[in-house]
Amino acid sequence: MITKTSYLKTSLVLILAFIGLSTANAQVSIGTETPDASAKLNIVSTSQGFLPPRMTTLQRDAIPSPAEGLTIYNTTLNCLQWWNGTFWYDGCDNNAFYPAGSVFCASDPTAVIDVTNPTTGKTWMDRNLGATQVATSSTDADSYGDLYQWGRRSDGHQCRNSATTITLSSTDIPEHGDFIIAQSEPGDWRSPQNNNLWQGVNGINNPCPNGYRLPTETELDAERLSWGSNNAAGAFASPLKFPAAGIRSFSGGFLVNVGSHGYYWSSAVQNSFSRYLSFYGSFAAASGGFYRAYGASVRCIRD
């Protein structure tokens, strides 16, 4: 006697056999009756591919609590991406390995794309940390990126709208992502100071991706000396296309000179200060010291 249940099972087997789909040993295969023993899903084809869910960055970011390994095709970036538990990772140079625990102000890590200055021979990231694109002008807001306090990692403080606190940190890695305001000398977010936070690729708080670091003062000044003009226009016209991203006040946490001045940290220190490159409409220089609690731009150089 053929029961309804056995009839359905038989029908299912026939259908699966017809399309080449197997569920043997709790496995699923398409195009083969002998799925690989290591695979739960085995698809075999020489004329068609696997098409994952396709969506924009906005639609992707609306997914609630994505599981580690969740995979989609991002139609905004035209790239396959998967969630690694911290951010959406891909193989299209939209990311590289950033230090564990890095917080990204934009929806994705800063794309790691190289640009080499033929005059200096140095290779850099083609945009500021936190920028979503290469500068199209000196005042291109999408190219400004984040503003880092000297020596801090990417913990969220670098976001231009991060909260502020007047409590200095006694450790190299604060337990929060607030921008730390310094109300007295030596103008540092950390007390006591530590000169070794951004020294080289192995610097304690190096925020750059694997293989990159903060430039030395000499490296920044060599870039400046290669410009066609010693000002903001020369900075943008250079191979690195530095934008005038402004600065964040060390004593108030507010933004200053956005769109008119650029300030870029080096790894160098000078007594209680740190060295930087600055430029504006009529002048540029890589000299002088800056309070470390200032928020300034970071452009990473390949080691």
116-129 pLDDT per residue, tens: 999 999 999 999 99
Question: What pLDDT score was predicted for residue 34?
Answer: 87
Q: Is the pLDDT of residue 4 over 80?
A: no
Same domain, 198 and 279: yes
Closest CA relative to residue 83, chosen from 68, 73, 72: 68
Q: Using pLDDT thresholds of 50, 70 and 90, give the confidence band for residue 2.
A: very low
Same domain, 68 and 209: no
Question: Is residue 170, in this structure, part of any structural domain at all?
Answer: yes
User: For residues 66 and 72, what is the distance between their CA atoms, to the nearest angstrom?
Assistant: 11
Question: What pLDDT score was predicted for residue 186?
Answer: 97
Question: Is residue 20, in this structure, part of any structural domain at all?
Answer: yes
Mean pLDDT in residue range 234-248: 98
Q: Using pLDDT thresholds of 50, 70 and 90, give the confidence band for residue 39.
A: confident
Same domain, 140 and 34: no
pLDDT in tens, 41-97: 888 999 999 899 999 878 988 899 899 899 999 888 788 988 877 667 776 755 557
Same domain, 202 and 79: no
User: For residues 90 and 101, what is the distance between their CA atoms, to the nearest angstrom?
Assistant: 18
Q: Is the pLDDT of residue 192 over 80?
A: yes
Average predicted confidence (pLDDT) for the chain: 89
Residues 6 or more apart whose Cβ sits within 8 Å of residue 262? 138, 232, 235, 242, 243, 244, 245, 246, 277, 278, 279, 280, 297
Question: What pLDDT score was predicted for residue 8?
Answer: 47
Residues 6 or more apart whose Cβ sits within 8 Å of residue 12? none
Question: What pLDDT score was predicted for residue 85?
Answer: 73
Same domain, 132 and 279: yes
Domain count within the chain: 3
- Residue 21 structural domain: 4-43
Question: Is residue 60, in this structure, part of any structural domain at all?
Answer: yes
Q: Is the pLDDT of residue 243 over 80?
A: yes
Q: Using pLDDT thresholds of 50, 70 and 90, give the confidence band for residue 108.
A: confident
Same domain, 12 and 113: no
Question: What pLDDT score was predicted for residue 279?
Answer: 97
Q: Is the pLDDT of residue 27 over 90?
A: no
Closest CA relative to residue 63, chosen from 74, 78, 50: 74
Residue 294, CA distances (Å) to 73, 189, 225, 284 in order = 39, 9, 25, 19
Question: What pLDDT score was predicted for residue 3?
Answer: 52
Burial class (CB in 10 A: 0-12, 13-18, 19+), 105: buried
User: For residues 115 and 136, what is the distance between their CA atoms, to the nearest angstrom?
Assistant: 15
Question: What pLDDT score was predicted for residue 54?
Answer: 95
Q: What percent of the chain has pLDDT over 70?
A: 89
pLDDT in tens, 254-302: 999 999 999 999 999 999 999 999 999 999 999 779 999 999 999 999 9
Question: Is residue 232, in this structure, part of any structural domain at all?
Answer: yes
